[in-house]
Structure 1
């Protein structure tokens, strides 16, 4: 495979610019070169998310964020050797270098078709949608339309486009509308099962009703979210961090409308006028290992934050996956109106 199809950038490119290029690229990786055209590193989706968690400025050069020791091949090796290296290190792309450490080509692992994953996707779609009344008086919130499709259909198609086709829908309010529309999922090219909640169980309680024994990580997502996250990257991140639970988080900005005072005992140290604060907040998308189910009480109201707090208190490895892609929580009428505007803009861009 030639190198012309890949993203190759200089090591002084800003992090924000690299993020945009990787998001638009098919391969989701950038190869970093210096002024002498030598390969000095690589940057993947995971590298960028870890940089965001370290609170790196978006203006830092990618040289400060990149993986400085990428796996490489040399131009005198054979294709068979390249494929062995790719499989040994479980990587998708291998830069091939000449004697001057310049990229002559980039080899991709042999693939016949797009990956299809067996991991389950559990969608919480049983809520009342009280804040969206009167729209939800006769329809469950996940069935409200964005453009010409229900929110839930857009979510399912997003997972399907990333290779995930096995769904469990946790239903309650107006469940017959959801079940009648999606049935077993065959018409949408997926497989759908249902968990029927007879009472409110929160954002995690319904997981205790899963009858099938799960043996691999699974997704849990609120059924009122729109996002362009690549869910295969979330699975990859979850596996790399060896976590029992991974929570997707989103940066939230807010401005304190007063001057904030810093003191030391009675002394005034500084005054910061109306500072802008940034915090990570729960984005309502999770990845759990099956053993996490052991910590959820059976058929009892239980929320995801409670589960993660319990995992943390027991010293188990819980991680966060920062989202920098489009994300919208359709909780109120203004959010619903904005989501429709966003959908029109994205559709016209395509």
Structure 2
């Protein structure tokens, strides 16, 4: 909901103030928050009616009729999980909170019904050989490997189309004809699909130099990543802070299969048995400004980390945005098998 700020009312607000807020936003909910916008309670139009039936007056404190423990969602929760929560609890709205329980948004059912058509192009990097998958990619390009009942690239394109994106560029190289034959110009899907044809491998972002000049930010994602990312939200956040690049990130845990020795000056201080290390990794999805695209060298192998490093060196605004939903890179056989095992529950459940 874009005008969610109008739904926020202070602790001293009356039922009349809540009614005015609910009427102004049409969201069916007022959010009662303190001066730092920490959520104290919510008041739906139903809560308001019930309070008035019990004899409350319009000038009484709205907080007296509020739900102090409402269902809420974290600001990084993915779109599919949010919709599932709305359905599971029969809700029409969900306050969106940050880690400090400060209100940062209000999601409503109508947000899922009125998806804007976005003119921002989506570039999907689909030219890699997938050498780690060995026999699986001998005759099939990695983005066309089936995860569940269809090629992974079908799922990636379908998810983005469901979020309002209509203009796609597929960067292709290895066995490109299979991808082009499968998608054509996209008209059968109601999309505009065009191709960035690499005559040689150009790395994870070199193909961006083949794009025509852009006047809006573009979404870039890898063609071998199965993820539930709200790209519309990422794009809107990127625009809100006027970023030059947004890197979608997530936590990745690795367990060391041995005891890790911590020592100092030759003396062992302790041994940590099979510790788990957590890292923040790139999720293979980005939003790039037109200025960022102009830094990609023409006809040159160039990887995304190099482009990000160039932007940071140039003093450009490079930000991260966590993605907390499902994510898996199918580049290794165990991960490809896991993606197939997960697909039914995560994408068709």
TM-score between the two structures when normalised by the length of structure 1 = 0.71
Shift in alpha-carbon separation, 1:258–1:153, aligned structure 2, 3 A: same
The CA distance in 2 between the partners of 1:269 and 1:297, in whole Å, is 49
Matched, 1:345 2:345: yes
Q: Distance in 2 between matches of 1:113 and 1:307?
A: 35
Structure 1 residues not aligned, in runs of 5+: 32-42, 52-63, 71-90, 94-105
Alignment of 1:21-40 (within 5 A): 22=82, 24-25=84-85, 30-31=94-95
- The answer for the alignment partner of 1:66 in structure 2 is 102
SS of the residue corresponding to residue 128 of structure 1 reads: coil
Count of residue correspondences: 283
**SS of equivalent residue, structure 2 residue 294:** helix
Contact 1:22 1:28 in 2 (8 A): no
C-alpha distance in structure 2 between counterparts of 1:305 and 1:148, whole Å:
33
SS in 1 for 2:136: coil
* Alpha-carbon distance between aligned partners in 2 of 1:186 and 1:5, rounded to the nearest angstrom: 44
Deviation, 1:30, is: 3.5
User: Would the alpha carbon gap of residues 120 and 16 (structure 1) be closer, same or farther in structure 2, given more than 3 Å must change?
Assistant: closer
Q: Which residue of 2 aligns with 1:129?
A: 130
Q: Judging changes above 3 Å, is the alpha-carbon distance between structure 1 residues 13 and 274 closer, same or farther for their aligned structure 2 residues?
A: farther
- Matching residue of 1:240: 240
8 Å CA contact retained: 1:241, 1:319? no
Is contact 1:129–1:140 with CA below 8 Å preserved after alignment? yes
Structure 2 counterpart SS, 1:242? coil
Q: Contact 1:248–1:286 (CA<8 Å) still a contact in 2? A: yes
SS for the counterpart of 2:215 is: coil
Residue 295 of structure 1, CA deviation: 1.3
The answer to whether 1:301 aligns with 2:337 is no
Structure 2: distance between partners of 1:313 and 1:239? 21
1:96 aligned partner: none
Q: Matched residue of 2:299: which SS?
A: coil
Match of 1:193 in 2: 194
Contact 2:169 2:194 in 1 (8 A): yes
Distance 1:262 1:270 in 2: 7
**SS of residue in 2 equivalent to 1:119:** coil
Per-residue deviation, residues 20-65 of structure 1 (Å, max 9, x unmatched):
974635699743xxxxxxxxxxx35xx3xxx4xxxxxxxxxxxx33
What's 1:152 paired with?
A: 153
Structure 1 residues 322, 268: CA separation in 2 closer, same or farther (over 3 Å shift)? same
For residue 133 of structure 1, report the CA deviation from its aligned partner: 2.2
Matched, 1:142 2:139: no
Residues 306-344 of structure 1, C-alpha deviations (whole Å, 9 max, x = no match): 001111122211011111100110102222221111112
Equivalent residue, structure 1, for 2:6? none
| Aligned equivalents of 1:308, 1:315: Cα separation in 2 | 11
- Contact 1:22/1:29 (CA < 8 Å) preserved in 2? no
Encode CA deviations 1:44-100: one digit per residue, 9 max, x unaligned: 5xx3xxx4xxxxxxxxxxxx3313xx7xxxxxxxxxxxxxxxxxxxx877xxxxxxx
Quote how far apart the aligned CAs of 1:260 are: 3.9
Q: Secondary structure of the equivalent of 2:120?
A: strand
Which range moved further: 14-23 or 151-160? 14-23
Alignment of 1:210-225 (within 5 A): 210-211=211-212, 213-225=213-225
Distance 2:129 2:45 in 1: 47
* Cα drift, residue 119 of structure 1: 0.4
Aligned residue in 2 for 1:165: 166
SS of equivalent residue, structure 2 residue 166 = strand
Q: Which runs of 5+ in 2 are unaligned?
A: 1-25, 30-43, 47-65
CA RMSD of aligned residues (A): 3.4
CA distance in 2, matches of 1:249, 1:347: 21
**Other-structure match for 2:317:** 317
Pairs within 5 Å for 1:6-21? 10=68, 19=77
